[in-house]
Amino acid sequence: MFEIIPAIDLLDGRVVQLEQGDPERATVYSEDPVAVAGRWEAAGARRLHVVDLDGALAGEPRHRHVITRIVASVDMSVQVAGGIRSVDSVRAWVDAGAARVITGTAALTDRDFLRHALDVAADRLVVALDARDGEVRVSGWQQGSGLDVVQTAVALAADGVRRLLVTDIARDGMLTGPNASLLAEVAGMSGVAVIASGGVSSVEDLVTLSALAPVGVEAAIVGSALYRGDLQLADALEAVG
């Protein structure tokens, strides 16, 4: 079943959405992240995507307390991202009840970390591939890596990674539609499950992505379209259910 996963992005303790990952282009939607989590659960979501944006920029988690409260407050599965660059951080989120732990920078720059993180989290570990113009970006999307996103996906699959989160940075928060061709290529070439992120603006976009399920695109994260009211979660769930 194709999943629609609402996002809660945390910056300075508030729920925000960024444009193209730029903290200077943030729109604040709530001062109460736990209440927002409950809102998405009540609307029918089965999984939640929570990002510690401050942690992503700092290189270590900054919102552990509030994210732990979110995990404890809902019956949904919660996947956690942002600044997870040590095995201890991976273990801490597993112990805190996170259904999935998402790491990007460390998994791409430190093979020992990736190996040990897989030992700790196994199929609960997700590696984030955040790409602009086909190049993987790291350090909270702030730095280029010189890595091709498709080739990197193939290499990660060979290392034992079972799930990837693929974001087209240029489309993130812009409501311009997802990069379906990139997502299909990554899923098809790597042979692992792919979560889509970036650009979803309508039910039609989600129907397009759900049609890629046979090649391995299993879910889509939705943020700005939900918060702006351009997309109603109930309508989206019905369309792809």
CA 130 from chain centre, in angstroms, equals 9
Say if residues 236 and 7 touch (Cβ distance below 8 Å).
Answer: no
Measure the CA–CA gap between 224 and 172, rounded to whole angstroms: 9
Answer yes or no: 9 catalytic. Answer: yes
Answer yes or no: 22 catalytic. Answer: no
pLDDT at 173: 62
> Which pTM was predicted?
0.94
In order along its 241 residues, the chain shows pLDDT tens digits of: 899 999 999 999 999 998 877 788 899 999 999 999 999 999 999 999 999 999 988 989 999 999 999 999 999 999 999 999 999 999 999 999 999 999 998 999 899 999 999 999 999 999 999 888 889 988 766 777 789 999 999 999 999 999 999 998 877 666 778 999 999 999 999 999 999 998 899 999 999 999 999 999 999 999 999 999 999 999 999 999 7
Catalytic-labelled residue, pool 52, 54, 130, 168: 130
Sign of the Cα torsion 67, 72, 73, 74 reads: positive
Residue found by looking up tokens 């270590």 in the block = 60
Query: Which residue ranges form the domains of the chain, and what is each CATH number?
Result: 3-240 (3.20.20.70)
